[in-house]
């Protein structure tokens, strides 16, 4: 087990190095360097050429652009080991602080939707698995199948048009109302405000994984129900609920545990688009903004953080797998 874990960790580290070196190498091998692009786009409004040259030299040195890109990469790695992700090109603030400020909202969104997806999918999946073939089950399954094929950004836009533009029930974007409105609210009012802002983003990031889980649980449950021990359980006179929940469903939990890790990857990648649509101040929105500004230190830092989160998710799935299934011994 320990050996397996170590192997996975090593592979994960290797993957991280590979991803970051690819992105770093590509940034450096593109025609023009981050600084000339910066001048072209001029996002910092540097008009004075003298200031620009001084600034340029300083930045060039700091970003290691005057050396070979591999040296630059290892410098970046070295800084990383000291917990320094560099400074944003935008406002010269530390990248780690920028990411730290955005990680909370992302986790609020993905955590809520992960919990919701699990809570809702288990009863639905059990129902669909046990009542397979009947009309309500087929209706639910078909509907969920359609949902699974509906991209979250399309759903988000449809819901926005319906609830925010036409009915005006829910806010269009952001995480809070404006500061003035917020100041006049009580604590309960503020949480209600947050919930109102959260409804659509959470719904959009939940439904796809919900649909997938239900299909997954249903398929596994049907597989389990065909087994001999279910016939035995029925033969000894157990009630249908006990047979399905205690005997059949428990055995579908094992593959379900592995899904948890994979969902994390899914949520992380979905967050870029959804946070952009709802203007939710999370890591995905920061990534999107950084790409628009070509803020390379931030792009590097976020690529790393997203990759770490996804790899941690995979690792977690692996661990859970071993934890819930006593038959599995990694050796």
Q: What does the binding site for another protein look like in residue numbers (CB under 8 A)?
A: 11-12, 14-15, 18-19, 22-23, 26-27, 30-32, 37, 145-146, 148-151, 153-154, 157-158, 160-161, 164-165, 172-173, 265, 268-269, 272-273, 276-277, 287-288, 290-291, 294, 296, 299, 302-303, 306-307, 310-311, 314
Residue 326, φ and ψ in degrees, nearest 5: -65, -15
Min separation Cβ 147 and another protein, Å: 10
Report DSSP state, residue 86.
-
Min separation Cβ 7 and another protein, Å: 10
Report the residue number, 127 or 296, with the smaller CB distance to another protein: 296
CB 323 within 8 A of CB 259: no
**Spatial CB neighbours of 243, under 8 Å, sequence gap ≥ 6:** 230, 233, 234
Report the residue number, 219 or 238, with the smaller CB distance to another protein: 219
Distance CA 69, CA 209 (A): 40
Min separation Cβ 237 and another protein, Å: 30
If you search the block for the tokens 């025609």, which residue do you land on? 31
Report the residue number, 122 or 272, with the smaller CB distance to another protein: 272
Report the residue number, 7 or 250, with the smaller CB distance to another protein: 7
Distance CA 274, CA 262 (A): 18
Min separation Cβ 241 and another protein, Å: 27
Q: In angstroms, how far is CA 168 from the centroid of its own chain?
A: 28
Report the residue number, 115 or 146, with the smaller CB distance to another protein: 146
Min separation Cβ 288 and another protein, Å: 6
CB 112 within 8 A of CB 65: no
If you search the block for the tokens 């309960």, which residue do you land on? 188
């Amino acid at each position: 087990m320990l050996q397996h874990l170590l192997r996975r960790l090593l592979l994960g580290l290797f993957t991280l190095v590979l991803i970051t070196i690819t992105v770093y190498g590509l940034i450096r091998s593109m025609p023009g360097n981050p600084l000339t692009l910066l001048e072209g786009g001029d996002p910092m409004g540097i008009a004075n050429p003298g200031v620009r040259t001084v600034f340029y030299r300083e930045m060039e040195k700091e970003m290691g652009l005057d050396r070979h890109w591999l040296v630059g990469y290892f410098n970046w790695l070295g800084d990383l080991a000291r917990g320094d992700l560099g400074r944003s090109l935008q406002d010269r603030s530390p990248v780690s602080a920028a990411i730290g400020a955005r990680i909370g909202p992302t986790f609020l969104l993905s955590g809520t939707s992960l919990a919701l997806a699990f809570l809702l999918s288990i009863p639905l999946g059990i129902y669909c698995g046990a009542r397979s073939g009947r009309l309500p089950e087929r209706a639910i399954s078909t509907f969920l199948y359609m949902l699974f094929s509906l991209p979250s950004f399309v759903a988000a836009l449809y819901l926005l048009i319906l609830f925010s533009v036409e009915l005006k029930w829910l806010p269009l974007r952001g995480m809070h109302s404006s500061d003035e409105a917020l100041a006049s609210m009580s604590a309960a009012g503020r949480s209600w405000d947050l919930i109102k802002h959260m409804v659509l983003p959470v719904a959009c990031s939940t439904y796809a994984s919900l649909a997938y889980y239900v299909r997954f649980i249903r398929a596994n449950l049907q597989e389990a129900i065909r087994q001999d021990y279910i016939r035995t359980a029925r033969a000894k006179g157990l009630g249908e609920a006990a047979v399905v929940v205690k005997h059949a469903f428990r055995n579908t939990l094992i593959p379900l545990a592995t899904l948890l890790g994979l969902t994390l990857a899914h949520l992380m990648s979905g967050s870029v688009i959804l946070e952009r649509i709802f203007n939710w101040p999370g890591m995905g929105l920061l990534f999107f903004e950084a790409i628009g500004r070509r803020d390379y230190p931030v792009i590097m830092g976020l690529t790393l953080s997203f990759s770490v989160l996804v790899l941690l998710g995979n690792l977690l799935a692996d661990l859970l797998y071993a934890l819930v299934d006593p038959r599995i011994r990694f050796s």
